[in-house]
Amino acid sequence: AQSVTQLDSQVPVFEEAPVELRCNYSSSVSVYLFWYVQYPNQGLQLLLKYLSGSTLVKGINGFEAEFNKSQTSFHLRKPSVHISDTAEYFCAVMRNEKLTFGTGTRLTIIP
Amino acid sequence: NAGVTQTPKFQVLKTGQSMTLQCAQDMNHEYMSWYRQDPGMGLRLIHYSVGAGITDQGEVPNGYNVSRSTTEDFPLRLLSAAPSQTSVYFCASSYRGQGNIQYFGAGTRLSVL
């Protein structure tokens, strides 16, 4: 079975500072990796995904993530956050067309 | 293009009542799924469907029924609501195949008293 671990449930960051949201997954076979964002009182929307190829994946709103197979990690980064990045971020793995989500990281931007 | 539409947005039920959460998509997606979101637990898959007439269980199927009579619609039924089913429910859809993006509805917030 797949599992996804997001170690940080909450991350406060000052505006314009860099941020990294951590995600580790467990799998014995190849998986597809996703980061979704959920703004307050909304559904989820895709930030970026890794299927194959380059291990550095760029997404929307200036976010990027790096796939590290040896460490089974898929950390999300942004070099400079904005107040509008306040949201909950979910890492997910897909196998057999089914998504398994992590428990989420709430990113709070401090003005 | 409406995408994935969920109704109602909010619902309050009494224990033992039944109801159906509606989900419709207009993107001709084969794959549809239902998740529930609870604080500190992320989203967990309830049921999913890979096409009309085909459904299967996810991680937390107990207490929920689904059917898929058309490509567009994938309703979720609670036959006898319990307080443990208080949650936010999300429907999603995608094309079939590995790595396809799932598109989510805005959610239904359900409280069972």
Q: What span, in angstroms and rounded, lies between the C-alpha atoms of A45 and A28?
A: 27
Closest approach of chain B CAs to the CA of A84, in angstroms? 19
Residue A28 has pLDDT above 70, yes or no: no
Q: Is B28 on the interface with A (CB under 8 A)?
A: no
* Pairing mode, strands B87-94 and B31-38: antiparallel
Q: What span, in angstroms and rounded, lies between the C-alpha atoms of B28 and B25?
A: 7
Closest approach of chain B CAs to the CA of A39, in angstroms? 11
Taking the CA atoms of B74, B11, A42 and A36 in sequence, report the sign of the dihedral they define.
negative
**Cβ atoms B13, B108 nearer than 8 A:** no
Arithmetic mean of pLDDT over chain A: 92
* Pairing mode, strands A105-110 and A10-14: parallel
**Cβ atoms B89, B35 nearer than 8 A:** yes
Closest approach of chain B CAs to the CA of A18, in angstroms? 24
**How far from chain centre, in Å, is Cα B29?**
15
Q: Do B99 and A90 touch (CB under 8 A)?
A: no
Q: In 10 A of CB A111, how many CB atoms?
A: 6
Which residue in A46, A51, A97 is closest to B31 by CB distance? A97
Q: What residues in A contact B43, CB-CB < 8 Å?
A: 44, 90, 99, 101
pLDDT tens series, chain B, 113 aa: 679 999 999 999 999 999 999 999 999 999 999 999 998 889 999 999 999 999 999 999 999 999 999 999 999 999 999 999 999 999 999 998 777 889 999 999 999 99
Please give the interface size between A and B, counted as residue pairs whose CB atoms are below 8 Å apart.
Answer: 57
Closest approach of chain B CAs to the CA of A57, in angstroms? 14
A44 class by beta-carbon count within 10 Å (0-12 exposed, 13-18 middle, 19+ buried): buried
Which residue in A43, A49, A98 is closest to B101 by CB distance? A49
Long-range contact pairs involving B97-102 (C-beta distance under 8 Å, separation at least 24): B97/A97, B98/A32, B98/A51, B98/A94, B98/A97, B99/A32, B99/A49, B99/A51, B99/A94, B100/A97, B100/B31, B101/A34, B101/A46, B101/A49, B102/A46, B102/A99, B102/B31, B102/B33
Q: Is B98 on the interface with A (CB under 8 A)?
A: yes
Residue B75: the pLDDT is 98
Region for A23 from its dihedrals, namely left if φ exceeds 0, alpha if ψ lies in -120 to 50, beta otherwise: beta
Q: Do A98 and B45 touch (CB under 8 A)?
A: yes
Q: Is B40 on the interface with A (CB under 8 A)?
A: yes
Least confident of A65-69, A96-100, B71-75: A96-100
